[in-house]
């Protein structure tokens, strides 16, 4: 059988493509290349260029490649941008998904894996977030992911598709330098960028009710994210009635101050000053996954720690941003 991976030329999608192909699965990638890059794909993986909103294109790709399962990674993912452009986010993330599900149902696709996010939880007031923790997204981005989960579950029930929504926590790292994150939207690359410019990395708020006053997150290596997809894909292939919603995290909290310290060490900028900036609007103090359910359901757990993430992300950063010569 063939899996269609939407967004397969992007940062996370290309890691999913790598894991599935190395796991012996046949894949085809659908990507509009708005942020993706064909160079991220392993040799021999077919790329169809276009949007999930293009029903005719999706129908053709499903038919021509005899697709039996879909991993839907393609989406807009910047929280701040989603506040400014909610209609764009709903169109891309919700209407796009709806179009894809309609095509999937009509083509008899029987497995559907959806990239969701810890953003569905909003500001969880618990030590470890379980899949039963109430969802209360704080941004249009988080709303589109929660609405997406509902669409996936309802379509799965009605059309006999095995489904899984995977809630990613804070993704970092890279399988190799070439597959590094090209964006500068998250803590790790934002700190790299400041350090490279000779400016102090910023810590947004140090007066949170956490052990060192800075926000705590559950960082997860993108290769672990990818291996969870392979495990979920196999489960959906074995269990036509599966309807899973699972956190993908490590179950371990790391503070912003700890991450910044580790980044200084790994990048060699050990003398760099660090600046405490005001809190960033909408940041929850602590978001850490319970990773129990995915362990129980898929026998999956994370292999990599934060040092692996920072070291591999740094290699990827240096490939894209060579050190200035002195
Ligand atoms: N931070 C800093 N300084 C920086 C950048 C970030 O202190 O220069 C802090 C943030 O305030 C936050 C933490 O680092 O406390 C992590 O910030 P990120 O922007 O890397 O990640 P978020 O936790 O805000 O959000 C991430 C993804 C979202 C996703 C969410 C799910 O970016 O897409 O995790 O939990 F929805």
Average pLDDT over residues 241-266: 98
Q: What is the C-alpha separation between 227 and 92, in angstroms, rounded?
A: 26
**From the candidates 89, 90, 121, 141, which is the catalytic residue?**
141
pLDDT beyond 90 at 245? yes
301 pLDDT higher than 90: yes
Residue 191 Cα to ligand 1 middle (Å): 12
Q: What is the mean pLDDT of residues 223-245?
A: 97
Residue 112: predicted pLDDT: 98
In whole angstroms, what is the distance from residue 118 CA to residue 146 CA? 10
Environment class of 303 (CB within 10 Å of its CB; exposed 0-12, middle 13-18, buried 19+) = exposed
Residue to mutate, 117, 183, 217, ligand 1, most ligand atoms under 8 Å from C-beta: 217
pTM flag (> 0.95): yes
What's residue 326's pLDDT?
A: 58
Residue 240: per-residue pLDDT: 96
- Would you call 141 a catalytic residue per the annotation? yes
Q: Quick one: which atom of ligand 1 is closest to the CA of 78?
A: 33
In this structure, which residue's CA is closest to atom 25 in ligand 1?
A: 170
Q: What distance lies between CA 230 and its chain's CA centroid? A: 14
Question: Which whole number is the average pLDDT over 143-170?
Answer: 98
Query: For 263-276, what is the mean pLDDT?
Result: 97
Cα 283 to ligand 1 centre (Å): 8
Q: Quote the ligand 1 centre to 188 CA distance (angstroms).
A: 9
Give Cα 240 distance to the centre of its chain: 25
pLDDT > 80? residue 325: no
Q: Which CATH superfamily is domain 173-217+251-320 in?
A: UDP-galactose 4-epimerase, domain 1 (3.90.25.10)
Enumerate the domain spans of the chain: 2-171+220-248, 173-217+251-320
Percent of the chain with pLDDT over 90: 98
Contact 36, 7 (CB under 8 A): yes
The whole-number average pLDDT for the span 224-252 is: 98
Please list, in sequence order, all residues whose beta carbon lies within 8 angstroms of the beta carbon of residue 89, skipping any fewer than 6 positions away.
76, 81, 82, 140, 141, 144
The protein residue whose alpha carbon is closest to atom 6 in ligand 1 is 187
169 Cβ inside 6 Å of ligand 1: yes
CATH fold match for the domains 2-171+220-248 and 173-217+251-320: no
Residues in CB range of 81: below 8 A, 6 or more apart: 89, 141
Q: What's the pLDDT at 20? A: 98
Ligand 1: which residue has its CA nearest to atom 20? 186
Give the residue, out of 256, 274, 284, with the most ligand 1 atoms within 8 A of its beta carbon, to mutate for a pocket test: 256
Among 3.60.10.10, 3.40.1440.10, 3.20.130.10, 3.40.50.720, name the CATH number for the domain at 2-171+220-248. Answer: 3.40.50.720
pLDDT digits over 133-149, tens only? 999 999 999 999 999 99
159 vs 229: CA distance, rounded Å: 22
Does residue 79 have a pLDDT over 90? yes
Mean pLDDT of the chain: 97
């Amino acid at each position: 059988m063939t899996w269609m991976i939407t967004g397969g030329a992007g940062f996370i999608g290309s890691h999913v493509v790598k894991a599935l192909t190395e796991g012996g699965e046949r894949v085809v990638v659908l990507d509009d290349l708005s942020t993706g890059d064909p160079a991220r794909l392993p040799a021999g993986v077919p790329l169809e260029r276009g949007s999930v909103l293009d029903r005719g294109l999706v129908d053709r790709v499903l038919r021509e490649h005899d697709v039996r399962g879909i991993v839907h990674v393609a989406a807009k993912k910047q929280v701040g941008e989603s506040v400014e452009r909610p209609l764009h986010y709903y169109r891309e993330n919700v209407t796009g998904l709806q179009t894809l599900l309609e095509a999937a149902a009509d083509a008899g696709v029987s497995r559907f894996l959806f990239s969701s996010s810890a953003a569905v939880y909003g500001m969880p007031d618990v030590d470890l977030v379980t899949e039963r923790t109430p969802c209360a997204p704080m941004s249009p981005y988080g709303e589109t992911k929660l609405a997406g989960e509902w669409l996936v579950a309802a379509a799965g029930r009605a059309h006999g598709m095995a489904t899984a929504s995977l809630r990613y926590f804070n993704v970092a790292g890279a399988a190799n330098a070439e597959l590094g994150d090209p964006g500068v939207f998250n803590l790790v690359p934002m700190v790299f960028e400041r350090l490279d410019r000779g400016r102090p990395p910023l810590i947004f708020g140090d007066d949170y009710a956490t052990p060192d006053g800075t926000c705590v997150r559950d960082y997860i290596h993108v290769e672990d994210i990818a291996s969870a997809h392979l495990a979920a894909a196999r489960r959906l292939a074995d269990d036509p009635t599966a309807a899973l919603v699972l956190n993908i995290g490590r179950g371990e909290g790391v503070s912003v101050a700890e991450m910044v310290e580790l980044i200084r060490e790994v990048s060699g900028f050990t003398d760099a000053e660090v600046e405490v900036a005001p809190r960033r609007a909408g940041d929850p103090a602590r978001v850490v996954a319970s990773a129990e359910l995915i362990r129980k359901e898929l026998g999956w757990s994370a292999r990599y720690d934060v040092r692996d993430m920072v070291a591999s992300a740094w290699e990827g950063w240096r490939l894209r941003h060579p050190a200035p010569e002195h």
